[in-house]
Amino acid sequence: MSRLRRRSLTLAAALCSATISLSALMAHPTISYAVSYEGTTFEIDGTYSDINAAVQEVQRQASDILGVELPLAEEVTVTPHFGQGDTTAQELPEALLMSVDGIAAGCGLYLDGSLVAAAPDRETAESAVSSLLDEVPAGQRNAHYADEPELREGYYPEADLVSGQELEAAIGSEFTIISTSTLITETLVPYTTIYDVDEDAYEEEMKPTLISRGSDGVLRSEYEITLENGVETGRVLKYLDVISEMEPEVIAIAGNPGSRYDSKGYYLWPVSGTVTSGFGKRNISGGTSNHRGLDIAAPAGTEIHAADGGVVMTSGKHDSYGNFVQIKHDNGDITLYAHMKKRLVSVGDRVAQGDVIGLVGSTGQSTGNHCHFEVRPGGGSPVDPLKYLPKEQTQY
């Protein structure tokens, strides 16, 4: 039978056609209504107004649930009924909803107020929610949802109800599970190299020398890892332990580049003593002469030192200078040391600033033990050595 033929009486016609005799009212003082829909009849206690309001509410709810406008009110018939009903007007909406094709009771899962999916019952929904937390891999702890799922029992489109397995899949795609785990790592700490610099040594004479070998250290770190759906989103260092200390490698190196024989570019006094004759004109033997250097008196045998580093270009005897030595420096200057008692270097020797090159004497044209010292810039004519020497004599 079609719904149109099955519609024996609409809500409006029901009241208009209902005729109740006085004798019937006296015999049955209590009146209820028989509400029929889709072959199911409910005996309702309540007024017609209550029933009408209930039917309208069910029509609204059913239309919202199914997403289409339903003519529910037109398909419900209401007939007066003598006697006590078995359902109240307040219970009618739920009873009618259960009779609407395509609607079923279920338990919906919501995220931020929006429906994600619905299960046939609360037990299935709760099982799906808890099972995902139970499936968090071993080693992860404190598993919980970032946004707690909300379960609502109610009525949903029957076709949309899903199984527990399908609900788990929906939860997994929509909800974020937060968990923590512990990560322990061991990290190699490469050894460093420390250079022990000998400020008195030169690279030419002192090659890098290993004093002690280095060894790597090991650090053990314990982190608390935060994960979202199994993917790390942050970590916090909780504990750090030194398993083995890093031992540095120590290498001795020279503090001076090049060679100790390199010129430093400044001069030291070749010997410490009294200056008995300066540079330039001087009176000697009743006349004058041009003195080409500086005479520094010192006891015989006093060590004479190279004013700067360089190469011995002359080591020999001279009628006037006696035993003398000339040193050529890196900048082309030449220094001369004369009247030595003894020469201690040979032509071609490399000498460093301060090296002993001879002993004070009085050889050649000399009137006493002293060191005659000349400075010849660029290998040219002698100039006043006092312009090149420090004010304070060098003490050896």
* Residue-level pLDDT, tens digit, the chain, 396 residues: 223 222 333 333 333 333 333 333 334 445 788 888 888 888 888 888 888 888 888 889 888 888 888 887 788 888 887 777 788 888 888 888 888 889 999 999 999 999 999 999 999 999 999 998 998 998 899 999 999 999 999 999 999 999 999 999 999 889 999 999 999 999 999 999 999 999 888 888 889 999 999 999 999 999 999 999 999 999 999 999 999 999 999 999 999 888 889 999 999 999 999 999 999 988 776 667 889 999 999 999 999 999 999 999 999 999 999 999 999 999 999 999 999 999 999 999 999 999 999 999 999 999 999 999 999 999 999 999 999 999 999 998
> What secondary structure letter does DSSP report for 271?
S
Residue 202's pLDDT is 86
Residue 22's pLDDT is 35
Which residue blocks in the chain are alpha helix, DSSP H? 3-6, 11-17, 22-27, 48-66, 72-75, 92-97, 122-134, 164-174
Residue 314's pLDDT is 97
DSSP strand pairing (249-256 vs 193-202): parallel
64-73: long-range contacts, CB 8 A cutoff, minimum separation 24: 65/103, 65/155, 65/156, 65/157, 66/100, 66/102, 66/103, 66/157, 67/157, 70/100, 72/37, 72/96, 72/100, 73/11
Which residue blocks in 81-162 are alpha helix, DSSP H? 92-97, 122-134
> What secondary structure letter does DSSP report for 247?
B
Residue 25's pLDDT is 36
The structure's pTM equals: 0.50
Q: What is the CA radius of gyration of the chain?
A: 58
In the structure encoding, which two tokens stand for residue 13, read together? 């016609």
Q: Which domains does the chain have, with CATH numbers?
A: 3-101 (no CATH), 105-175 (no CATH), 183-256 (2.20.230.10), 274-387 (2.70.70.10)
